[in-house]
Structure 1
Amino acid sequence: MIAPRYQEIPSAQIPVAQTKDGSVTVRVIAGKALGAKAVIETRTPIIYLHFTLQAGASSVQSVPKKYNAFTYVLDGSGLFGTEQERGEDEQMVIFAPDGEKVAIANPADATQPLDLLLIAGVPLNRPVVRYGPFVMNTEAEILQAIGGISRVTFQMDNVQMNHAQLMRSIELIRMQMSPLLND
């Protein structure tokens, strides 16, 4: 397993790019779009973009041929891919892995902006096993993760128990000494 790693990137530091006419805006969380590059480092190369397209706007995003790509529509209704398939609020649209670009568009007659996430990456082609908050490749890895949490919890319980015993001991000493201190 790989050790976990955290990157503190405030929202204000996420690069934002826009077309010259302002009809397409993208927040570049991972990858590249409209000339902007993400500041987040990923172990596995991915694309994670938050697009907003005004009515009548369209965009074509480069996606390496070996990537799988999908979009999740946050708000609005759009047209996706070369077939101009429609995607609505809270729907996922999966792009065919047959090219190196994906097309997204907000129809000219749209009554609101199209807000979506475009996510793409190299397929892992590995089994996925999940249990509770854990996602691993095998059941043995899940059991190992649960065992690690159990050990930490047991250690924390011991620390808390020792702390409680210490606090009781201090209270007993205070009670025994209070008559002596009051004299």
Structure 2
Amino acid sequence: MVAVTADTLVLPRVKDAGLGDTERPVLAVSTGPTGFEGEGFPVRRTMAGIAYQHLDPFIMMDHMGEVDYAAGEPRGTNWHPHRGFETVTYLIDGQFIHQDTHGGGGVIREGSTQWMTAGAGLLHIETPPEKLVEDGGLFNGFQLWVNLPAADKFSTPAYQPVEASDLLLLASADGGALLRVIAGEITGADGVVHKGPGSTHTPITLLHASVAAGARLSLPWQADYNALAYVYAGSGSVGTQGEPIHAGQLAVFGAGDRITLAADARQDSRTSSLEVILLGGRPIGEAMQQYGPFVMNTRAELQQALEDYQRGRLGVIPPDAIMPHVYSGDREPTDRP
């Protein structure tokens, strides 16, 4: 299921390929390993094994799902700290509820995005709501970590919800693909620059594309950004040489100002299109040190972050705190004689 759909015939079109454009070559196609995160929900580590020089300013992106939970199975995270970067959570199916120690919070619904700037540090929780835990249901989404430059590592924490209705919707030049732009800029067919709703410290572009079976997507891309494409459903090819790619794989592009993808004419029974998360950003070009939920520039800064967390300097869980819902089916009866 795709959260946001639209008629591509009436949407603004992106700029098609032209003379002087430089297609980005495909440097690698990789398949990320799977594992578990938080309280035990399944994820695919989409960027695992890719050298940071090709990812900068991105640190990691987890694909959460796609999974059809039975009652009592949905899991999220409990309260935990962050410092030095931004988390971007985009949901396609299911819901999360969020709260942080800097006043941010709300429900992340299908098609919506939560953009949290951890900056100097905070505590937060992301957990499925009671109904999803009790009833089960489909869950599918992504969490992206975006690095902050040294000058912004200790910025004031911030929270911005990007609702499904806020997304910038565009169509490919031939109308065969729908683009949902969360952040960044895309040049239209008329030369107008279309800008997504997300406000970012680090310049990036982030969008979700649905490419119809047999269709091709040629997209202008800023030359000073890197470029990555993660396929979460369907199959097709990337680059002008037609490198095969399928669900669960990430493509890394080289230098240029245009990226090309195509959907196979026949898709599997679970999808009618090639579903892709496209992202790129201007590399920060600074040393990056990570220890769990802390991303800094030096080991000394990591040690300080850990000490600050242990001393409660990143925040204290509030008295009205959201907590993970406990499935009622696991509880002991309360009406025993």
Q: TM-score, normalised by structure 2?
A: 0.43
- Whichever of the two has the greater Rg, that structure is 1
Structure 2 partner of 1:64: 222
Assess, with a 3 A threshold, how the Cα gap between structure 1 residues 18 and 154 changes in structure 2: closer, same or farther. Answer: closer
The amino acid of 2:181's aligned partner reads V
Structure 2 partner of 1:86: 244
Assess, with a 3 A threshold, how the Cα gap between structure 1 residues 100 and 22 changes in structure 2: closer, same or farther. Answer: closer
Q: Secondary structure at the match of 1:65?
A: coil
Give yes or no for the alignment of 1:8 onto 2:165: no
Asked if structure 1 preserves the Cα contact closer than 8 Å seen for 2:167 and 2:181, the reply is: yes
**Greater length-normalized contact order (CA 8 Å, ≥ 6 residues apart):** 2
- What is the number of residues matched between the two proteins? 157
Q: Which runs of 5+ in 2 are unaligned?
A: 1-152, 189-193, 320-337
Assess, with a 3 A threshold, how the Cα gap between structure 1 residues 63 and 155 changes in structure 2: closer, same or farther. Answer: closer
Q: Secondary structure at the match of 1:40?
A: coil
Structure 2 partner of 1:37: 195
Assess, with a 3 A threshold, how the Cα gap between structure 1 residues 153 and 107 changes in structure 2: closer, same or farther. Answer: same
Offset at residue 109 of structure 1 (A) = 3.5
Q: Which runs of 5+ in 1 are unaligned?
A: 161-183
Give yes or no for the alignment of 1:24 onto 2:177: yes
| Bigger strand fraction | 2
State, as a whole percentage, how many aligned pairs show the same letter: 34
Asked if structure 2 preserves the Cα contact closer than 8 Å seen for 1:59 and 1:104, the reply is: yes
Q: Please give the residue correspondences for 1:121-160 in structure 2 after superposition, counting only pairs within 5 Å.
A: 121-152=281-312
Q: Secondary structure at the match of 2:159?
A: coil
Assess, with a 3 A threshold, how the Cα gap between structure 1 residues 24 and 154 changes in structure 2: closer, same or farther. Answer: closer
The CA RMSD measured in Å over matched residues stands at: 2.5
**Per-residue deviation, residues 132-167 of structure 1 (Å, max 9, x unmatched):** 21111211111121122122179959xx9xxxxxxx
Q: TM-score, normalised by structure 1?
A: 0.75
Task: Single out whichever of 68-77 and 21-30 deviates more from structure 2.
Answer: 21-30
The amino acid of 2:184's aligned partner reads G
- Alpha-carbon distance in 1 for matches of 2:303, 2:162: 32
